Amino acid sequence: MRHVLSVLVNDQPRVLARVTTLLGPRNFNIESISVGESEVEGLSRMVIVTHGDEWAMEQVQKQLYKLVDVIKVNDLSDHPAVERELLLIKVGAGPTTRMEISGVVEPFRASVVDVGPNSMMVQATGERAKLDVLIELLRPYGIKEIARTGVTALSRSMAHASV
Amino acid sequence: MGQTATVLGGHTKSAESPETMYTGSEILLRCLIEEQVEILFGYPGGSVLPIYDSLYQGELRHMLARHEQGAIHAADGYARATGNPGVVIATSGPGATNLVTGIATAKMDSIPMVCITGNVPQQLMGTDAFQEADIMGITMPIVKHSYLVTDVRDLPRIVKEAFHIASTGRPGPVLIDIPKDVANAKDKFHYPEAVSIRGYQPTSNPHPLQLARLRKEIAEAKKPVILAGGGVVISGAEKELMEFAEQAQIPVITTLMGLGGFPGKHPLWLGMPGMHGTYAANHALLETDLLIGIGARFDDRVTMGRPDIFATKAKIVHIDIDPAEIGKNVDTFIPIVGDVKKVLQGAVNDDLLRSDCADWIDKVQGWYKSYPLQYQDSEEILKPQWVIRHLYETTGGDAIVTTDVGQHQMWVAQYFQFAQPRSLITSGGLGTMGFGFPAALGAQLGKQERTVISVIGDGGFQMTNQELAIASSANIPVKVVIINNQNLGMVRQWQEVFYKKRYCDVDLSGSPDFVKLTEAYGVKAWRATTKEEAIHAWAEALAHPGPAIVDFWVAPEENVFPMVAPGKGLDEMIMGDEEE
Ligand SMILES: Cc1ncc(C[n+]2csc(CCOP(=O)(O)OP(=O)(O)O)c2C)c(N)n1
């Protein structure tokens, strides 16, 4: 099963290395990791997307807690959560296809952020699956480059759990 | 320059005030003194020259090993014998990488250690400077925690935290990497009184609800068994374990790391389980309906890597200070996170009902008597098991015994009945050859009053025997017992049993004459090839006030039995090679 772990860590050099070193030998398949500042000064939030059964997830959480730099681990899959990823994609686009591409990306609430003579760059945010679909739709135009941030996520407030 | 520095050092010492400025290395030394470190093990080099310069005053005893691996295993042996953190110092690059095996050894057996490495000056870090190695990165998977000191002002806090982390919760090795410029930088010295580390709060008090569940299960169990591991020794819970087992009347099995945590002569003791365990211990595990694991991690030398067929009739209770151990290897019915000593103190109280299992105790004690550990003795050739029995009998079991890794290690575990904790010092988790001899030196330095015996194979001795130099120079009265079978015995045994005697690279011919080698270091040595010589040589070695070695020439093809092959069930014990 897919899990999204939200891990509060000390904002210290090497903390990402400590976490990945720990997951490595336990054969953890990591779909994505993203790290950034959190609401607490000195702490970063790391969002890890991974797959594993209940046993593996329990193990990995306990092992993470053994790292001195890990403050808190939450499995966001246990509760409603918002998951987002940012995609930047550069596709081939000449004068004839620009309009068409703009039309394709529009329903995704994506925007064109750069235009060159033979290409344009599209920015999109959303859940991973949605971005995957967008990439497939853009493939026929010729994908030149892709950059994705990996998933970041926060649990929803209880009152809005159904939104 | 050197002269001025010395004078200055002496001067600052007498004029100590909160305003006095010290170098990073002087601060380090003061921190170690504050931590009541009695002895350092190490090896100098370019990046730790400032640290060695501050040792010049002689305020702290330092043992100069002959290889950093020797230094770190000695520090580890010191820690295992005393319970206090062992401290080792090595230089950057090769010095630091030579520590790696020792750090991993300590990590696997949860040994408190503080490992101090020098590093190149910060402005050179990342430039592949001379003797630069990313020791923080290299050791990341094998430390409990690690620090790179980037500012001399952080040093006292870091040292304080390092000792705290190394020795609390589930102990382990902590690395402090100190770039040379930090060791040279100056600051005032103030040692923090308390530590507070966000994200590090080991649980030591058990949950009362789980304790109540445990008592209930004990009352209902018909065939309970305790599996006691290294956690009992680390926690200093031997008294509590005895009270618990006696009050509840539950038989006790001790793992390799748990030996000595429960007296080997106690009527409730069934021996060691697993690959080379006793019939009684393994069969108790097969039949038990309530298995209480206490500071034991159910590793694959006990479960044979087959949790699916391990103790299948039992509800498993698992007591451990490390929550990550619980449920890791076997499914747990009652998890109890906490310090073993506190858990057992909590469990032993008036309403701890005694289990109703006199029949069960009769049964397991019957196994213990009917299927004792056995070997074919000989009058022609020394048998290694006889040698270990002889050590046991001549010391009355009152000795610290270190082992290396291999057959002799198992024979020590089987034939030396440990009565007290911290008496068997062995690399159980990593299985590090070369550990035993330096560990014995460290143990003896920590426990001057005890007899310390290093039982070692002729293979493993050659991995770190250069440390004879410290035994000699510091006159450390360790007694080394070489179980010399002229083979990498344990590997030879596996090739015999699992590879149809296709012996490949296990013959140790070309090894030195150990008596001459030892004598070349100025250490006394004897050789024994018969029982008579053995008795005589051992008596002399034991009576000798300094270090001594006895090279026992034993039967080269002796095997360790019983034996369970990896991946087999504990009911598939090979009891011996009777057909021969
Ligand atoms: C550093 C290291 N290398 C290799 C091994 C694998 N190994 C385990 S036991 C053994 C043989 C040990 O031989 P010896 O020291 O003579 O002891 P014996 O088994 O004969 O008692 C070997 C090579 C190990 N445990 N450690």
CATH number for the domain that contains residue B450: 3.40.50.970
Q: What is the pLDDT of residue B12?
A: 42
Instruction: Work out how many domains chain B is built from and give that number.
Output: 3
Yes or no, beta carbons of A17 and B137 under 8 Å apart:
yes
Read off the pLDDT of each residue in B15-23 and give the average, rounded to a whole number.
Answer: 85
Structure tokens at A147: 């950059």
Domain that holds residue B30: 21-188
- Of the pLDDT bands very low, low, confident and very high (cuts 50, 70, 90), residue B2 is very low
Question: Which residue has the least CA distance to atom 11 on ligand 1?
Answer: B488
Closest-CA residue of chain A to B143: A67
Yes or no, beta carbons of A68 and B328 under 8 Å apart:
no
Q: B264 CA distance to ligand 1 centroid (A)?
A: 26
Yes or no, beta carbons of A66 and B199 under 8 Å apart:
no
Residues B224 and B167 in one domain: no
CATH number, residue B227: 3.40.50.1220
Nearest chain A CA: its distance from B133 CA (Å): 16
pLDDT digits (tens, 9 = 90+) for B288-338: 999 999 999 999 999 999 999 999 999 999 999 999 999 999 999 999 999
Final residue before a domain boundary, out of B188, B216, B242: B188
- pLDDT of B406 > 80? The answer is yes
B508 CA: nearest ligand 1 atom = 16
Read off the pLDDT of each residue in B150-174 and give the average, rounded to a whole number.
Answer: 98
- Cβ atoms of B119 and B132 within 8 Å: the answer is yes
Final residue before a domain boundary, out of B370, B397, B432: B370
Q: Closest to A62 (Cβ–Cβ): which among B137, B165, B323?
A: B323
Would you say residue B456 lies in a domain? yes
Q: What is the pLDDT of residue B350?
A: 58
Read off the pLDDT of each residue in A114-133 and give the average, rounded to a whole number.
Answer: 96
Average pLDDT of chain B? 95
Structure tokens at B337: 């996170």
Final residue before a domain boundary, out of B124, B154, B188: B188
Using most ligand atoms within 8 A of CB, pick from B409, B411, B488, B563 the residue to mutate for ligand 1.
B488
B483 CA: nearest ligand 1 atom = 21
ipTM exceeds 0.95: no
Which strand (E) or helix (H) includes residue A9? strand A2-10
Would you say residue B318 lies in a domain? yes
Q: pLDDT higher for B406 or A30?
A: B406
- pLDDT of B13 > 70? The answer is no
Exposure pattern of B245-272 as b/e (b: 16+ CB <10 Å)?
bebbbbbbbbbbbbbbbbbbeeebbbbb
Residues B27 and B62 in one domain: yes
Nearest chain A CA: its distance from B433 CA (Å): 23
Beta bridge mates, B252: B226, B269
Mutate to test the interface with B, among A41, A44, A46, A66 (most CBs of B within 10 A): A66
Average pLDDT of chain A? 92
Yes or no, beta carbons of B199 and A59 under 8 Å apart:
no
pLDDT digits (tens, 9 = 90+) for B340-395: 999 999 998 756 667 779 999 999 999 999 999 999 999 999 999 999 999 999 99
Residues touching ligand 1 (Cβ under 6 Å) are B 404-408, 431-434, 457-460, 483, 485, 487-491
Residues B364 and B388 in one domain: no
Would you say residue B568 lies in a domain? no
Angle between helices A128-138 and A98-105 (to 10 degrees): 160
Q: What is the pLDDT of residue B203?
A: 86
Residues B244 and B335 in one domain: yes
- pLDDT of B93 > 60? The answer is yes
Closest-CA residue of chain B to A9: B199
pLDDT digits (tens, 9 = 90+) for B417-457: 999 999 999 999 999 999 999 999 999 999 999 999 999 99
What gap in Å lies between CA B195 and CA B108, rounded to an integer? 25
A155: helix, strand or coil:
strand
3-state helix, strand, coil in chain A (%, to 5): 35, 40, 25
Q: Closest to A59 (Cβ–Cβ): which among B141, B200, B328?
A: B328
Write out the E strands in A38-150: 43-51, 70-75, 81-92, 111-115, 119-126, 143-148
Read off the pLDDT of each residue in A126-140 and give the average, rounded to a whole number.
Answer: 96
B406 CA: nearest ligand 1 atom = 19
Residues B418 and B290 in one domain: no
- The single-letter code of the amino acid at A91 is V
Q: What is the CA radius of gyration of chain B?
A: 25
Exposure pattern of B470-490 as b/e (b: 16+ CB <10 Å)?
bbbebebbbbbbbbbbbbbbb
**CATH numbers and ranges of domains, chain A:** 2-78 (3.30.70.260), 82-154 (3.30.70.1150)
What gap in Å lies between CA B31 and CA B192, rounded to an integer? 10
What gap in Å lies between CA B385 and CA B375, rounded to an integer? 7
The three-state DSSP-derived secondary structure of B416-464 is CCCCCCCCEECCCCCCCCCCHHHHHHHHHHHCCCCCEEEEEEHHHHHHH
Nearest chain A CA: its distance from B446 CA (Å): 29
Yes or no, beta carbons of B141 and A22 under 8 Å apart:
yes
pLDDT digits (tens, 9 = 90+) for B39-82: 999 999 999 999 999 999 899 999 999 999 999 999 999 999 99
Read off the pLDDT of each residue in B406-418 and give the average, rounded to a whole number.
Answer: 98
What gap in Å lies between CA B172 and CA B158, rounded to an integer? 16
